[in-house]
Structure 1
Amino acid sequence: MKALIVEDEEYSAIELKYLLKKIDKNIKVIGIANSGQKALNILKKFRPDVIFLDIKLNDLNGLDIAKSIASWDEGIKIIFTTAYDEYAVKAFELNAVDYILKPFSEERLKKAIEKMKKHFGVNNIETGKKFEDVKKLPVKSDSKLIFIDIDEIIFIEADGRNSLIKTANGVYRSLYSLKDIEDRLKNSCFFRVHKSYIINLKKIKEIIPWFNNTYIIKLSGSENIEIPVSKNKANELKAILNI
């Protein structure tokens, strides 16, 4: 798992890197950025899995960096590391995985890493379980965690840094981003037709030609919702369906 540390205090950055290596050898720190702009450059080039992000930097605000990340890569997880507790609410509104106060505690950092693993799917991180073996997905329901069969899924829609899963029995909030789910279901009957939608190909009921060589799809069990197919996905979908 690739991690980036964004911290303008050298001692704090070194300490955090040391603790991460000590806690989990599977976490590889690919860099330490001492400014927000340097962090954005590294993020766009190397796309780490997680960023440990300070809030008060010498050029940019960590909250603004988090907003920027969400606009172009919803799969990067964010753990805020800061000396200021007053930004916690705003941080979690940006779907941060966790918010750790300085000075760093090894035990507290362990808890943050465990939370992060749950966001990615702990089995895939710890055991190398292949994505194509996944038959169920965890979702939130009435403050509980339940598992739904992937065959029950009609479509999945992006919801900020997370996603909503539509089934015949209702809509559930997923622990994963749309990119995470796309990776997990890539060898199954699911296809990402748009930046905001993944559909179950078995549920296709109608394909309606739309403008600019794009399409609208209607799915069994959710006929009242029209799902767009982006132009760059149209030909790939036609090849999959042999049409």
Structure 2
Amino acid sequence: MYRIAICEDEPLMAQENEATLCRVLEAGHFQRDIDFSVSSFSAAEPLLTALRNQPSAFHLLLLDIRLARENGVELANRLREWNVDCSIIYITSYDEYMSGSFATHPLEYLMKPVDEERLEKAIQWDLQKNYRPEQLALPVKGGSRRVEAKDILYAEAVNHKSAVHLPGEEIPVNLSFRELLSLLRGDTFCRCHHSFVVNLEHVLKQTTRGLLLDTEMEIPVSRTYRQEVAKRFVAFMK
């Protein structure tokens, strides 16, 4: 589950930020309390307590800068000193803190009201680089099918829709291939062809024509993706 914290001391703004966040994630076929969770904090201290007890409690933090008793950048610096490595997106009405925020390595520095498109791009980047889903909810005929992400061998485009392949099973999915790609996030999944995305956890080695899986099946790699696949595979094996 993708765990998100919002730290904002203005109740209406906190609600607005939460609603925007949910719209962005639900548009990407994430379901609240199944695929993602949101925890709201109106002050710094409860957030600090939660992260002091469990530094990995959250993947992403949406952080106001001017809190009632705290400066958000100072709070973030404290978290980095504790080796809390959650991604941070600042949301503020003040641009004068921007240069001072760089040391905390934020994903974004957004002015209120939040630009939803910029928030979406930041979240998509974070999901792709820093988040590995444990389960996926796939829309199928008659409802939804949950699968373990680690069990997926590869997925492919099929007649304007797509299919997910598990060991010994093919699951037709009611999504376009582009929509399915938006679900297969993290450094585990790698697009290798205009019609294929592969789970690198199941790749044994690269071949002259493609990628050999641990099922002894070979997935094609097109010329367009060959260089990127080689780089991703080497990085994943490290």
TM-score band w.r.t. shorter chain: 0.5 to 0.7
| Structure 1 residues 71 and 107: CA distance shift in structure 2, 3 A | same
- Unpaired runs of 5+ residues, structure 2, are 134-148, 150-181, 189-198, 205-227
| Structure 1 residues 133 and 20: CA distance shift in structure 2, 3 A | farther
Residue identity matched to 2:21: L
- Residue 34 of structure 1 corresponds to 42
Shift of 1:59: 1.4
- Residue 138 of structure 1 corresponds to none
| Matching of residue 18 in structure 1 with residue 75 in structure 2 | no
Shift of 1:16: 0.8
Counterpart CA distance in 1 for 2:101 and 2:200 is 30
Counterpart CA distance in 2 for 1:76 and 1:44 is 13
Residue identity matched to 1:79: I
- Residue 113 of structure 1 corresponds to 123
Over aligned residues, Cα RMSD in angstroms?
3.3
Shift of 1:54: 0.6
SS in 2 for 1:23: helix
Counterpart CA distance in 2 for 1:56 and 1:111 is 24
Assess if the C-alpha contact under 8 Å between 1:52 and 1:79 holds in 2. Answer: yes
Residue identity matched to 1:9: E
- Residue 61 of structure 1 corresponds to 71
- Residue 9 of structure 1 corresponds to 10
Write the mapping of 1:208-227 to structure 2, written as runs, cut at 5 A.
Answer: none
Residue identity matched to 2:183: E
Assess if the C-alpha contact under 8 Å between 2:65 and 2:73 holds in 1. Answer: yes
Shift of 1:150: 6.4
SS in 1 for 2:68: coil
- Residue 96 of structure 1 corresponds to 106
Counterpart CA distance in 1 for 2:109 and 2:89 is 6
Assess if the C-alpha contact under 8 Å between 2:63 and 2:72 holds in 1. Answer: yes
Write the mapping of 1:106-145 to structure 2, written as runs, cut at 5 A.
Answer: 106-120=116-130, 126-127=183-184, 129=188, 132-133=201-202
- Unpaired runs of 5+ residues, structure 1, are 136-144, 154-184, 191-243
Question: Which of structures 1 and 2 has the larger relative contact order (alpha carbons within 8 angstroms, sep 6+)?
Answer: 2
Assess if the C-alpha contact under 8 Å between 1:92 and 1:98 holds in 2. Answer: no
Shift of 1:105: 2.5
Tell me the TM-score normalized by structure 2.
0.52
Residue identity matched to 1:98: E
Residue identity matched to 1:68: R
Task: State the percentage of identical aligned residues.
Answer: 25
Assess if the C-alpha contact under 8 Å between 1:79 and 1:96 holds in 2. Answer: yes
SS in 2 for 1:24: helix
Counterpart CA distance in 2 for 1:6 and 1:89 is 20
| Structure 1 residues 39 and 111: CA distance shift in structure 2, 3 A | same
| Matching of residue 73 in structure 1 with residue 74 in structure 2 | no
Residue identity matched to 1:126: L
SS in 1 for 2:95: coil
Shift of 1:131: 7.2
Shift of 1:82: 0.7
Residue identity matched to 2:184: T
Counterpart CA distance in 1 for 2:229 and 2:200 is 19
**2:52 pairs with 44, 51, 54, which one?**
44
Counterpart CA distance in 2 for 1:91 and 1:133 is 40
Shift of 1:134: 7.9
